[in-house]
Amino acid sequence: MSSYKTSAIHTDKMPPGIPYIIGNEAAERFSFYGMRTILTIFMVNYLWLMGDKAGTQMADTEATERFHHFVSLVYLTPVLGALLADLFFGKYRVIMTLSVVYCLGHLALALMGMTGEASTWLMAGLWLIAVGSGGIKPCVSAHVGDQFGNKNRNLLPRIFNWFYWSINLGAFLSTLLTPWLLEWYGPHLAFGIPGVLMALATLVFWTGRHKFVHIPPGGKKFQRELLSKEGIGAILKLAAIYIFVAIFWALFDQSGSSWVLQAENMNRNWLGVEWLPSQIQALNPIFILIFIPLFSYVIYPLVDRVFTLTPLRKIGIGFFIMVISFALVSIAQMKIDAGEAPSISWQLFAYVALTASEVMVSIVCLEFSYTQAPKAMKSVIMALFLFAVSLGNQVTAQINHFIQVKDPTTVLSGTDTEISHGGFDGKTGTSDDLVVTFDKDGARTSIAFDGKSALEELVSKVSTTVAEQNHTVLSEAKAAEILAGAKDPWGNPYQFTLLDQSRMRIVSTGADKKDLTQWDQGAIISVSVPSESKPSAFTAFMDNFRPEEAWLEVRKKELGIPTKAEAAAEGPVISTDYFVGGRVRLEGANYFWFFTGLMLVASLAFMIVAKLYRPREYYHDDHEAEVNSEATAH
């Protein structure tokens, strides 16, 4: 390390190492957002087909939970990376070492389905990426700030904006490309290409090693500063801000999970073409590319003329804008719940608000956190900022876990046999037994329960009516006519719920007579009407480079599962899936309105915290102990 510069260059120009950091960040973000963009859709629609035989398809709520557990881990491991950097090895060495771990994670994802259990490779890959990506995050952000000294610190806000701009350029390109790769070439290439970009990012960063300022690890100085009154005070002050930032991320990162799943039920015909659900996420990075200069050079200066925009005020306004964003997707979901297919424009406008919120919260808080961190604690404070992202995603993951109602038959397994579950009374051989049938491959073929015959009669009436009205789902009023007076074996009335434009649910509360428990019994009736869809704008551009059939169609043929083309040849199809338990306590529009209300409460509470906060800035080459900024705090 002695051959490297260890202090900031005294210049009023841009530091020479910045282009290498920006190039590295663009490629690294391409790789991360490329795999993140397709992760939820992959878990729901592809993972169950990755073995030698078809498995059980993952439910939307479980996929959302797993997605946010992964993102939470990505933003938890920065604490480890920051400690390694600030205590022992310095930022550069940690970034280089963990980048290799990062590349191995992408390799594991690319190998899914080639050998062994696909779910095992998925778990291994996500863990490696979480350690690699998360570990370098605080180091890269702090490494950017380390390049600046007294004379050019005025350029720091501009470079953090461009740093964020490079992130979103990479994210935009990968958000368009990887869904297309997944659609036509499958998971191996879709996850493999981001891995190649990560390897490129590592190479770009290594070539800039002699251009960087390498701030040595703080060691004992770091420990003293961390445990000092000043260090603890800085952490506690910022922690009060980060609690609210965590709620922001609990909502924001759902653009990669619940928003993608919502887009599957929307009319995605926009600008004359049909977009893939995952590609809608490209709106966020493209808006970021527009909004960063717009806010920096137009909106902020104009607002400052009449209202002083301190960092905390920007963050507070951003919180309220996030409320608007989720309110829009909540209204869109209400339309889906009513059997409509609302335009994807609802999400477009929601992304406008989401991105404006991100500019005012994430970018501002990143820069603000760096300036508020004592000199030996820059990486740790960056890690605490990222921990807020982890905490927010853990909130979303835990909520999605809590709202899932257990399916009591998941403990059963077998091959070419019938297995009984004791049901509500816990005793086999009684009337409330649950009987599951398995085929020779161990896949479930049917489930029988005491109330199934009465339920089948209702399903038959519903299916007949659906066919008579040109294969459209029933209205609530029409369903009420069919279900009027019908009771299950325990005297419970049946409930009808319209789930979306193609699915309806009939359910009874079962033997325990309590709603939303594992003993609920019901059926989901799906209406499939073949339709032709145009490719996405990106797909249309890439038509000359794709095979004739989508990867899923080819894979289903290999496994003997009916394809879309085969279903279309049969015409409209009405299918029924019977279930016990397995429902969701918070679904549809209620799910989105819950998070909207949570963000509104957090926004109001943050106003009090922001009023009481007193900023204090620190830089590496300050000759004085500190630079007070209390005069401009509010």
In CATH terms, is domain 18-404+588-632 a member of 3.30.420.480?
no
Instruction: Tell me: pLDDT of 339 over 90.
Output: yes
Question: In sequence order, what DSSP letters do the residues of 313-374 get, joined into one string?
Answer: HHHHHHHHHHHHHHHHHHHHHHHHHTT---BTHHHHHHHHHHHHHHIIIIIHHHHHHHHHS-
Domain coordinates in residue numbering, the chain = 18-404+588-632, 408-580
* Dist. CA 551–CA 537, nearest whole Å: 19
Q: What distances in angstroms separate CA 395 from CA 59, 131, 150, one per listed residue?
A: 19, 20, 40
pLDDT band at 632 (very low <50, low <70, confident <90, very high): very low
What residues pair up with 419 in beta bridges, in sequence order? 436
* Dist. CA 338–CA 265, nearest whole Å: 12
Res 105: pLDDT: 93
Show Cβ contacts of residue 248 under 8 Å, excluding neighbours closer than 6 positions: 318, 319, 322, 357, 361, 362, 392, 599, 602
Q: Which of 514, 496, 515, 498 is nearest to 506 (CA)?
A: 496
* Phi (first) and psi of residue 210, to 5 degrees: -85, -5
* The length of the chain, given as a count of residues: 634
**Mean pLDDT to the nearest integer, 8-13:** 67
- The conformational region for residue 186 under phi > 0 = left, psi -120 to 50 = alpha, else beta, is left
pLDDT in tens, 422-469: 999 989 888 889 999 988 877 788 999 998 999 999 999 999 999 999
pLDDT in tens, 564-579: 777 666 778 899 999 9
* Dist. CA 494–CA 485, nearest whole Å: 9
> What's the pTM value of the predicted model, to 2 decimals?
0.86
Place of tokens 């309220």: 320
User: Of residues 215 and 321, which shows the higher confidence score?
Assistant: 321
* Dist. CA 447–CA 418, nearest whole Å: 9
pLDDT in tens, 358-388: 999 998 998 888 777 776 676 677 778 888 9
pLDDT in tens, 482-538: 999 899 999 999 999 999 999 999 999 999 999 999 999 999 999 987 766 556 566
* Dist. CA 78–CA 245, nearest whole Å: 16
Average pLDDT, the chain: 86
Res 3: pLDDT: 72
pLDDT band at 89 (very low <50, low <70, confident <90, very high): confident
Show Cβ contacts of residue 284 under 8 Å, excluding neighbours closer than 6 positions: 168, 171, 175, 255, 351, 354, 355, 358
* Dist. CA 169–CA 192, nearest whole Å: 20
pLDDT band at 87 (very low <50, low <70, confident <90, very high): confident
Res 361: pLDDT: 95
pLDDT band at 92 (very low <50, low <70, confident <90, very high): confident
* Phi (first) and psi of residue 509, to 5 degrees: -80, 0
Q: How buried is residue 101: exposed, middle or buried, by Cβ count under 10 Å (0-12/13-18/19+)?
A: middle
273-274 and 417-421 as β-strands: parallel, antiparallel, unpaired? unpaired
Show Cβ contacts of residue 65 under 8 Å, excluding neighbours closer than 6 positions: 397, 400, 401, 404
Question: In sequence order, what DSSP letters do the residues of 220-285 get, joined into one string?
Answer: HHHHHHHHSHHHHHHHHHHHHHHHHHHHHHHHHGGGGTHHHHHHTTSB-EETTEEPPGGGGGGHHH
| CB 610, CB 427: distance < 8 Å | no
